[in-house]
Structure 1
Amino acid sequence: MIHPNKRFFLTSIFTLIGVVSIYAQSIGYPFYKYYSSQDYHGGIQNWKITQSTDGLLYVANNFGLLEFDGTNWNKYELESGTKCRDVYVDTDGKIYIASQGDFGYYIPNGKGKLRFVSLADSIPGEKRDFDETWRIFKQNDQLLFCTFDDIFIFNLNGQLKQIIDPDSDPDNFFFVNHELYFNQNGKGLSVMSNGNIKSTAYGHYFKNMTISGIIAINNNQLLISTLKNGMFLKSGNQITVWQPKNQDKFKNANINQMKRLKSGKIAIGTQNEGLFILNKNGEIELQLSKGKGIENRTVLSIYEDIQGNLWLGHNNGISSIALNSPFKHLNEQTGLPGTGYDALLFNDTLYLGTNNGLYYKNIKAQNTSFKKIENTSGQVYKVQQINNEILMGHHAGTFRIRNGKANKIANIQGTWTLLDLEKYPDYVLQGNYKGLSLFKKSNDGLKFIRKLDGFEESSRVMEEDQDGNIWMTHGYKGVFKIKLTNDLQSVEANYYGEEKGLPAKILNNVWDLNDNLIFSTVAGLYKYDKNKDRFIKSSFLSNYFSDDVQFISFTEDAIGNIYFVSTTETGVLEKTTNGNYIKHTAVFNELENLLNDDLQNIITLEANKVLYAAKEGFIQFDNTAQKIKDVDFNTIFTKIEISNSNDSIISYGRYIENGKVSFNYQNQDTEIPFKDNSIRLAYSAPYMSGKFKNQYQYWLENSEEEYSNWTERTDKEYTNLPEGDYIFHVRAKNIYGQVSKLASFHFTILPPWYRTNIAYGFYFFIALILAVVTYYVIELRYKKKTEILTEEKEKEITRIDSELKTSEEKFEKLKNEKLKSEIKLKNKELATSTMHLINKNSFINSVKANLNNITKRSKNQEVKHEINKVIQNIDKNIAADQDWEHFSIHFDQVHGDFIKRWKEDYPDLSPQEMKLSAYLRMNLSTKEIANLLNISVRGVEIARYRLRKKLELERSDNLQEFILKY
């Protein structure tokens, strides 16, 4: 911990240094984004860049006109397929372009798609056959189209007003102080005023030079750049070399373009040496070239956009440079490879420690990259100045840095940090992988004394309190209070964890802030209460953060600004004159995913300037840079289309309103047929700062209850929408948390044809007709029903009378039918009994035959006599003919006089065939018939055959079916 008097002295010194500023040159490069020709789908060369009032970027490209809406690149090719050399966007939204053999403007068609209108086609005669249009300028209410032969002047209505024909061909054009300057081969610099061309008094000076840029600077002076002859200053009629010390540099660089920036600085784009940024005095503040801040060394065009970004059109690609950002990147492009860990600024030399070693650079020297210090390869954890000596904590041990070399002063592996002890001012405490070591100051530098006993924990973060206690925080074990013994041989360590008030034993760190030790934990800031010997919540910074915020890194600069990184935000608490703080976080969103997530660190360089350890090198932050201002920016629709139709495009986002191109659909309404009730809306916000990481929020009014969550998605699709009126709202939020103006699109999904007003009118008409018809039908039915009821009643009376008369007859008839039924049933039963009797007789005949056989074979007369008696008795009781007659009577009663009718129709049938016919009528089987006829089965088949012959049946006729159907 720094003693208050010592802190006051250092604050005064650093404040003074901050006033004079130690930075003569930039030590890093601005953030940038590069677009290759594959990204924007165009040609390699980009001749001019400009921007519309809506924020869209336009580029004159080899393949035509490029448009960038912050999300997507669009390309508009000329029908001739020629190069686009210049582009100018007027306040009414017309996009004028200059190309080979043509010029004109782009304007949206009915669907908002840009279409080209040629103005050159209105030029008469041979003047139309020009080669190339090089520049476009607006002068009051006129447009000047400059070719290498003539200058064509049009009014804003597209009418040709005048043709200026210089007596010598121009080679370039510049619009300065509302006048058109151009250089003529062999003649020099001329100016056109009121439609007349005149030579300037100093113009002959440039007659053998190619002028590449002219800008106005102070006191009506003109700064003139040339392609190969350097830069010149015109004061009155006198021409002088501007900044002679840089003249050779500019000559060799071949200047392509020059532009005055809003800050007053001058940007110079060159053919061979990339981009130069000069202050108003002509001193080079920054140079960007291939592999040093940009991807291409040729800069053909320069444009500063609404947000202050610098756009460069290269010979191959396009770059966007965050020139106004407070951040600069120190990475491998500055000669610094690896991940950043720690840094130190000492005597104009900046030391940077990475995982690859220790690097250094004199910050006042021009065009010098970082150099590696010998013998430092590997992880550098700490770079410190103690006793006017540079010391390095390294994976391999502790090193002294002198004359660009590193010498090890202690052979203890893994030096985390070195602590200059205030209680023992002659000693320095070292924290390493395993425990602590002691060093002593001497005239020859720091000397290793001993490794201290009593403590073996890894000691990376340490601070000393006012009582001389050493507080060491371990990332995973807790906090230790360490006290050196009087003999400086060992230490006594007390452990503090959850039982001592800390919310957890992990992720604790100690910081020296505002002359106090503050402990960051997983649940906010804590301080040590000496009287209670435990940790309690700290109220420090409670007005600026929630109680449970987890801080990862802190540092405090010489004037009291506190820089911080937490798990939720990164920022600075800028100290005010009354001792309070102003919190700034928005601009730090640019650091997302860039900082070192291993051993995070913030290093103070001087007042208002710090370095953040990054995944690639370091990132410098200048707190004096202009803070982010609230800006108005728009969200625009880029394409609205029906997603279930081939002819799907509703609009490309633009339309003409009061003669101007507009993206505001607030007052527009679009009707969509019900069959096309699926819509996709694409949108973008042309806010092009902060890595272009815009987020969007949308809401479909009358369908959704509220806005969606923020998302980076730039389109939304709705399918199967019911009929009704809808308003789609969308807005953007840039990386700094600023919200754009709302974009709205009103559309109506028409009902299907069967739910339209015409359809409902038709339905009503049909319903009315049906109601009338129904009424008359019901009335007619009622009358008819009344007549029918009357007639039915009369018929019912007649029927009842008739039934009364015939009821007795029906009763008698039913009674007779019942008697007949009973008789018929009895006849059936009798027929069945007769059948049984016949069967019995058949059996008895069989027995009789057997007995006769026995008598014939028997020799016993007595037995024969007895058997003959039995046979005689059987003969007495068998009356086969009578049984058959009896059977025939009952059979005819059952089968409708079959036997009677059968005899009449077929009188030639024998009795045996009559019986066979009756048995077939009864549907008896062949075997049953054989038993009844007392013949064999074969005999039955023969009898059936004879019967068929007598009946004269065909072979295809079935005998039994014939008899059954008879």
Structure 2
Amino acid sequence: MKNSLLIFFLLFIIQNYPPLYGQVTGVRRPDLRVFHKEDYGAENKNWDIHQSDKGLLLVANTLGLLSFDGEEWQLFKTELPIRCVYAQNDTIYVGGDNTLGYFLEEDLKSGFHSLAKIKSDIWKIFPFNDRIVFQSFDRFYFLDQGSHIGYERINVGNTTYAYEQQNRIYYQITYGRLYYTNLGGELREVALKQPSEIAAHQMMFIQELNEEELLLGSLNQGMFLLKEGKMLPLPSRVNELLKKYRINHILPLPENRYAFGTMDGGLIIGDLKGNIDYHLNTQSGLPNNRIHSLYRKDHLLWIGTDNGLAMLDLSAPLSFIADPYLQLGSVYDIAAWDNTFLLATNQGLFQTEKHPQQFPNVVRLNKINGSEGQNWNIEIIEGKVFLGHNGGTFIFNQGQLEKISHVAGGYKLLKSRKHPHLYYQTAYFGLAVYEQNENGIRYLSTLREIATQTRDLIELPDGKLMVTTIDDNGYLLEMTGDGKSIQSLEVFPFFEGEKQIRAFSLKDRAIVTSSGKTMCYSDGEWTEAPKGLRGIQYLSEPLGDYYLVKKDNKLVLYHEAENKMIPLPQKIAALAKKMIYRYEHIGILSEHEFAVSLAEGIAIFDLTAFHQQATSTDRPKILEVAFYQDQNGNHLPEFDPMAIPYRYNSVNFKLSDFNFKHPSTYHYFLRGYHDHWQPPTTGNHISFQNLPHGHYTLHLKSDTAQQEVTYSFVIKPPLLLSAWALAGYCLLLLALIYGFFMGLKIHHKKQKLSLLKKERERLNKIRLINHEKLLEMEANQLKNEIEYKTEELSKLLLQNNKKKEIIDQIKEEIVQIRHQKRYVQPQDISKLNRIIDRNFDEKKDWAIFESAFTETHAYFFKKLKKTHPELSEEDLRLCAYLKVNLTSKEIAPIFNITPRSVELKRYRLKKKMGLEKDVHLKQYIQGF
């Protein structure tokens, strides 16, 4: 089973793919822009296409109405599939499965609006005599200028499609005869004689050529001319293809050309004589081979297929030769020779056929025997074709390769102008020299002074040679008199340490460039390169005054006479990224065509078509303007652009220049916010957030619509800066000024009062200081007096104690005398005792002491009794003695006890007072 599947797979490849060697089929196709369902966000099938007066592309899709402004696709869904679309003024009419209605272009978001409820499927919409006609298979609905709906039955059967021609609508009854109507009640059979065989066809196209002829397109049998009662097949290659692929849709083009959309074979563009411009199918870039719809506006042809959309620019300056089966390999060089193209690739040398067997966009490429492997360079010198190959150097003649040397890897070969019999060639090693004589061209030698792989080669007007190498060096060579050897060799100045050194010829000058520097060499002098050429990576051969330049990984057109770089459309500029890195090559195919060698195939740039492409005179359009609050994104629903409230001071502009060829680049600046043009942007939205209040004007242009468009708006000042607010501010300012002067006056008055107050305070302070000093003096004096009196009290007590001691001694002595019975009269002793007792009274002494003590310490006893009310008179006496700083020894005689008893007395007093152990009684008493 597995072997059977393998054999089947191999047979399929053999039958459907060309052989790997011998002949390769290439396709020359125009520049297509393709959109898949992932791009436009709807279903695969696109049934009809139209464009509004404002330029919006409209597509009837299975899911609803698609719109495209060149920047963004939008889908507006309908409940049922729509099959046709037609735009007039601001109204977009649509029809489909049981659907007849419209959208409003200015308010697409409002959705579909029904015109009538029908039970038919609408397949075509077209204008006719001030009416909009909706065609189903069994009737015509029509909408007049008064928005009234009418209809007319096809009462002799059904039809497929109807075709409006001047004042008639032609149609065929399915597999029957041809009729026409003017929707005025007149239904007639076509006056031309109709052969019976017409009923065997299903007509997919009817065109009135004149009163005697109709052009008919049959589904399965191709194109016919109905004339003199006969259906005459058009004998042409086009018709054979239409029979093979079946007609589905035909669109007349200018200059008697037609676009034929087929059921199975893609799109064919040509004329009725059989000349075919293009045959486009999936191999040449179409998304599908079944064509449902065709629409042309200006030079753009839109193609609706069963699986996506495509856009073909009929005037595009860019076309491609591609190899669908990738047998061609990477292209390193291309040259036009003997009405053919020669391609040097890494698979071999290929030559196109002079007379294509089918049509111009199919290119048969024959591989030259013996050229297999890496081919580097093709040089055509005086009618001879030289080929630089990995295996040597060859001359191509009459379809055969003749090897002239074993020099491998020939990158560049030139014939010397100073020595016309010599040729020089860069190669894998050194510089090869060839000589021409009557017997032909023979290899002489390899100059080994440059012992590495050489690359670029230029001969200067003075006969010197300029050579670069693959290892980033450059040399200026002066040859000997016979030109066969090197006399002197000079390394390029200014390029030490530089990478990717290349040398290119610019008429009588040489341009040397590297990764960081570009210099010009002419007449023995090095100068800085012209401004336009600085930083280039590659420079092509000239086409008149024009060169193609690779710069910043983009292709740019350089005009040498004007030293001006001309930007190219994005798709052409982007070819630089598809070239083979460090082996870039751009050849000349004709007087107006460059050929760009690519990693896969060739791009052909038509300079004449590029110049004929008129720069759009349209202006870019501002599709939407939205003012919003930056904090929460709330939009201003309705607005006067000259009076935008300040809280909506952020704005977003949605742009388009309806350029469908490639995404546009926009240039802008906002006057009032910017002072110069801003860097270009490829996005179609420009936003500004939190603009200050003021007047603004947006200036806008694009790379395809150079005319400038402007949009002015005014953001009103915030409420705090409004006119009323400013008037209030003025009144407030006047009030503030008045208040300021009044305040200043009050301030001066207060300042004067303050000075007076300060002076008064100063004087009061002086008085207070003097009073405090006086009080302090009095206090010191008082203190001194108290201390003196306390000391006096102490002395008094001590004196009293002393007297008491003396008296006690006298009394003791008297007692001793009495006991010893010495001679003394008893009555005298008694008398003496009475005198002592009368003059020494403890109570009287305490009263005298208490009076003196109270005079010195007026509040002592009062505070002490208040704090300790439980103290006795004796306790108060002890406290007074402690206050005047008497010791226990000095207190003991007063109480007539021993000092130890005084200590005991002090302990009991402390306990009665409730003092803590660590509190000293004497210090506590003296604190009162």
TM-score (structure 1 length as normaliser): 0.70
After superposition, residues 609-758 of structure 1 pair within 5 angstroms as: 609-625=593-609, 627-641=612-626, 642-644=628-630, 648-650=634-636, 669=641, 671-689=643-661, 691-692=662-663, 694-734=664-704, 738-744=705-711, 746-757=712-723
Partner of 1:297: 289
Partner of 1:83: 81
Check conservation: 1:215, 1:259, Cα contact below 8 A.
Answer: no
After superposition, residues 793-812 of structure 1 pair within 5 angstroms as: none
Check conservation: 2:504, 2:512, Cα contact below 8 A.
Answer: no
SS at match of 1:433: coil
Q: CA–CA distance in 1 between the matches of 2:133 and 2:797?
A: 136
Deviation at 1:77, TM superposition (A): 1.1
Distance 1:198 1:482, change over 3 A: farther
State the identity as a percent.
Answer: 22
Given the alignment, which residue of 558, 567, 574 partners 1:593? 574
For residues 604-630 of structure 1, the C-alpha deviation after alignment (integer angstroms, 9 at most, x for no partner) is 223323312235432212344362213
Given the alignment, which residue of 94, 99, 102 partners 1:97? 94
Distance 1:385 1:757, change over 3 A: closer
Partner of 2:407: 412
Deviation at 1:887, TM superposition (A): 8.6
Check conservation: 2:630, 2:690, Cα contact below 8 A.
Answer: no
Deviation at 1:342, TM superposition (A): 0.9
SS at match of 1:213: strand
Q: CA–CA distance in 1 between the matches of 2:198 and 2:844?
A: 161
Q: CA–CA distance in 1 between the matches of 2:666 and 2:47?
A: 33
For residues 600-653 of structure 1, the C-alpha deviation after alignment (integer angstroms, 9 at most, x for no partner) is 3332223323312235432212344362213222322344331536673457xx
Distance 1:816 1:257, change over 3 A: closer
Deviation at 1:144, TM superposition (A): 0.8
Q: CA–CA distance in 1 between the matches of 2:231 and 2:243?
A: 17
Given the alignment, which residue of 340, 343, 358 partners 1:349? 340
Distance 1:62 1:485, change over 3 A: same
After superposition, residues 271-670 of structure 1 pair within 5 angstroms as: 271-279=263-271, 281-306=273-298, 308-333=299-324, 337-365=328-356, 366=358, 367-373=362-368, 376=371, 378-385=373-380, 390-399=385-394, 410-420=405-415, 429-438=424-433, 450-451=445-446, 456=451, 458-462=453-457, 469=463, 471-474=465-468, 476-481=472-477, 483=479, 491-496=485-490, 507=501, 509=503, 511=505, 513=507, 517-522=508-513, 529=523, 534-535=524-525, 552-556=538-542, 562-565=546-549, 567=551, 570-571=556-557, 585=566, 587=568, 590-595=571-576, 596=579, 597-625=581-609, 627-641=612-626, 642-644=628-630, 648-650=634-636, 669=641
Given the alignment, which residue of 780, 783, 796 partners 1:825? 783
For residues 158-187 of structure 1, the C-alpha deviation after alignment (integer angstroms, 9 at most, x for no partner) is 222554444322211222335322232133
Distance 1:405 1:943, change over 3 A: farther
Q: CA–CA distance in 1 between the matches of 2:900 and 2:439?
A: 153
Q: Tell me which amino acid in the other structure corresponds to 1:138.
A: P
Check conservation: 1:508, 1:519, Cα contact below 8 A.
Answer: no
Deviation at 1:940, TM superposition (A): 6.3
After superposition, residues 781-860 of structure 1 pair within 5 angstroms as: 821=779, 824-830=782-788
Q: Tell me which amino acid in the other structure corresponds to 1:268.
A: F
For residues 641-671 of structure 1, the C-alpha deviation after alignment (integer angstroms, 9 at most, x for no partner) is 31536673457xxx9xxxxxxxxx9xx6264
SS at match of 2:574: coil
Distance 1:186 1:471, change over 3 A: same
Distance 1:429 1:193, change over 3 A: same
Partner of 1:227: 219
Q: Tell me which amino acid in the other structure corresponds to 2:572.
A: L
Equivalent pairs counted in the alignment come to 812
Q: CA–CA distance in 1 between the matches of 2:651 and 2:221?
A: 59
Q: Alignment RMSD, CA only?
A: 5.4
Q: CA–CA distance in 2 between the matches of 1:292 and 1:747?
A: 49
Computing the radius of gyration from Cα coordinates, the structure with the larger value is: 2
Distance 1:235 1:470, change over 3 A: farther
Deviation at 1:594, TM superposition (A): 1.0
Given the alignment, which residue of 185, 189, 192 partners 1:199? 189
Structure 2 segments unaligned to the other structure (5+ residues)? 1-24, 754-767, 803-840, 886-890, 893-897, 916-920
Deviation at 1:143, TM superposition (A): 0.9
Given the alignment, which residue of 104, 107, 115 partners 2:104? 107
For residues 337-384 of structure 1, the C-alpha deviation after alignment (integer angstroms, 9 at most, x for no partner) is 544321123334322123444333215213344354455455422123
Asked whether 1:177 is paired with 2:175, we answer no
Partner of 1:946: 912
Q: Tell me which amino acid in the other structure corresponds to 1:326.
A: P
Q: Tell me which amino acid in the other structure corresponds to 2:68.
A: F
Partner of 1:256: 248
Q: Tell me which amino acid in the other structure corresponds to 1:681.
A: F
Worse-superposed segment, 224-233 or 583-592: 583-592
Worse-superposed segment, 231-240 or 756-765: 756-765
Asked whether 1:897 is paired with 2:863, we answer no
Q: CA–CA distance in 1 between the matches of 2:632 and 2:416?
A: 78
Higher relative contact order (Cα pairs below 8 Å, separated by 6+ residues): 1
After superposition, residues 26-65 of structure 1 pair within 5 angstroms as: 28-65=28-65
Asked whether 1:147 is paired with 2:136, we answer yes
Distance 1:180 1:451, change over 3 A: same
SS at match of 2:70: coil
For residues 84-107 of structure 1, the C-alpha deviation after alignment (integer angstroms, 9 at most, x for no partner) is 2112121x2222222222222222
Check conservation: 1:518, 1:525, Cα contact below 8 A.
Answer: no
For residues 57-104 of structure 1, the C-alpha deviation after alignment (integer angstroms, 9 at most, x for no partner) is 1111111111111111111112x2x212112121x2222222222222
Distance 1:509 1:938, change over 3 A: farther
Distance 1:207 1:825, change over 3 A: farther
Check conservation: 1:354, 1:617, Cα contact below 8 A.
Answer: no
Structure 1 segments unaligned to the other structure (5+ residues)? 1-24, 122-127, 575-579, 656-664, 790-809, 845-878, 924-928, 950-958
Check conservation: 1:348, 1:364, Cα contact below 8 A.
Answer: no
Deviation at 1:333, TM superposition (A): 3.6
Q: CA–CA distance in 2 between the matches of 1:836 and 1:253?
A: 149
Check conservation: 1:485, 1:492, Cα contact below 8 A.
Answer: no
Q: CA–CA distance in 2 between the matches of 1:430 and 1:526?
A: 23
Partner of 1:15: none
